[in-house]
Amino acid sequence: MKYINKYKSPNYNSRKKLKIKLIIIHYTALKNTNEAISFLCNKEKKVSSHYLIGQNGSVYRLVNEKNRAWHAGQSYWQDCYDINAISIGIELDYSPYGKNNKFSLSMLASLKKIILKIQKKYKISKSNILGHSDIAPFRKKDPGKNFPWQKLLSAKILLKFNNVKKSDIKIIEKWFSKNNINSKKRIIIIALSLLGYDTNLVSKNHKKYNKLLNAYKIRYLSEIGYKNNKLLYNVLMKHLFKFMLTKT
């Protein structure tokens, strides 16, 4: 895969030998690729990513993978608060409000290729291909409700769990019941926590709880109607069952 190495961001530091475990997908929310390059390579902005993918599928390598790019900000996943240190950040030239408000086929083709390459290189779990909204659900929305996660699923890049049976869900529910966890809200919070989400304080903060649910629904239920809370519970139980089976 060919990269454009013409532009380099000064915004990075050392990973301190931490292992790369995550791939984080963002969108720039800027007008075009040139504006994104200017922003991500501006020392004063203190923001960067390892890669930027243009609407035409061009891939710009802005920060070497061995370095810690500054793309995640204040974020969390699976007990880690320094997501930048364990992740590769990929920015997409997309803005919900601009002319670049489509995830083009060329862009998605390049994204698939680069994810597969990084997955293989660092042995990254299919559960750890994330959106910015997964690691920062209370402040970020990207890559947004229109991002076609289904296309990555079809390419076998993501964890597939729609084939989990009702009897499998019963196993999960039985475990919760055995441990005297019967409140559906508490079950949802624990499930999201086990998957990796930041559930700190959400049980007592209704606004945060709803933001967390919305982040999950946009990510996993956008294809089937993410406003249905009953669907949320069923999908989440399937997800948790498959995740626990495949966890390494």
**Catalytic residue set:** 91
Strands 129-131 and 51-53: unpaired
Burial classification of residue 150, based on how many CB atoms lie within 10 Å of its CB (0-12 exposed, 13-18 middle, 19 or more buried): exposed
| Cis peptide upstream of residue 148 (ω within 30 degrees of 0) | no
- Which residues, in sequence order, are bridge partners of residue 60? 4, 52
Cβ atoms of 9 and 48 within 8 Å: the answer is: yes
Nearest C-alpha neighbor of 94 from the set 166, 145, 45: 145
Strands 87-92 and 129-131: unpaired
Spatial distance between the Cα atoms of 85 and 22, rounded to a whole number of angstroms: 10
Provide the H-helix boundaries in 95-246: 105-122, 132-135, 149-154, 166-178, 184-195, 206-220, 229-246
Cβ atoms of 81 and 75 within 8 Å: the answer is: yes
How many Å separate Cα 49 from the centre of its chain?
Answer: 14
